[in-house]
Chain A
Amino acid sequence: EVQLVESGGGLVKPGGSLRLSCAASGFTFRNAWLIWVRQAPGMGLEWVGRVKSKTDGGTIDYAAPVKGRFTISRDDSKNTLYLQMNSLKTEDTAVYFCVIVYYSVPYWGQGTLVTVSS
């Protein structure tokens, strides 16, 4: 069974940093393309970025609003995906979900809440 568990969310001041983690199990992690999606309170889903598997080049892509501030990485030895968030803004307040596509089916974690406020 595919399981994704995010952690690391919390309250941070504008300009601050936070690192989210997503621990995965139930599939061959190193072969997976991994995605971060966020959802601001009362709003829709927004793609944050993704990292391809190393065998597919390991390319990392970011959405325009976070490019240059957020960094996605993966540790295949720990089956864990990371999202380093720097220079946080109030508009980054959201629940952050990690997502994997396994045999064409997207699986979602339960999400972790990030609140950026002074």
Chain B
Amino acid sequence: NFMLTQPHSVSESPGKTVTISCTRSSGSIASNYVQWYQQRPGSSPTTVIFDDNRRPSGVPDRFSGSIDSSSNSASLTISGLKTEDEADYYCRSYDSNNPWVFGGGTKLTVL
């Protein structure tokens, strides 16, 4: 089984850009798509990135996803930070034996 490791927390000021990493412990990050979910306090998760770098309809283009094979990690970048972006963010990927593997989550504080 592989693991996805995220930083526990990140913080940044409004208007700035923040990047959250998601490192895969084994197997190639590029072999299986990565998704990113946003979970605001008291709410259910919503998808902000799917298929590594695609945004669902309605998600602003301030959100972007990328893959870096050299570090075997995925990243979620949020530009032009707003207070409403304050939330927990989870990455997720899979392989043939593990259909749904989540990262531990990253708490984003916009201060």
Contact = CB atoms under 8 A, between A and B. Distances in A.
Interface of A: 35, 37, 44-47, 50, 61, 97, 104-111
Interface residues of B, number: 20
Given A44-B104, A44-B105, A45-B105, A108 B44 contact: yes
Contacts of B33: 104
A111 B35 CA distance: 20
B50 A106 contact: yes
A104 B33 CA distance: 10
A46 B45 CA distance: 12
Given A45-B37, A106-B37, 10 more contacts: A35-B100, A37-B100, A44-B103, A46-B102, A47-B101, A50-B100, A97-B44, A105-B47, A105-B50, A108-B46
Instruction: Rank and list the top 10 A-B pairs by shortest CB-CB distance, nearest first.
Output: A47-B100, A44-B105, A45-B102, A108-B44, A105-B56, A106-B47, A108-B45, A110-B44, A44-B104, A111-B44
A108 B46 CA distance: 7
Nearest to A47: B100
21 contacts: A35-B99, A37-B100, A44-B103, A44-B104, A45-B37, A45-B45, A47-B99, A61-B99, A104-B33, A104-B50, A104-B51, A104-B54, A105-B47, A105-B50, A106-B37, A106-B47, A106-B50, A107-B47, A109-B44, A110-B44, A111-B44
A105 B35 CA distance: 9
- Most chain B C-beta atoms within 10 Å of own C-beta, residue among A37, A46, A97, A111: A37
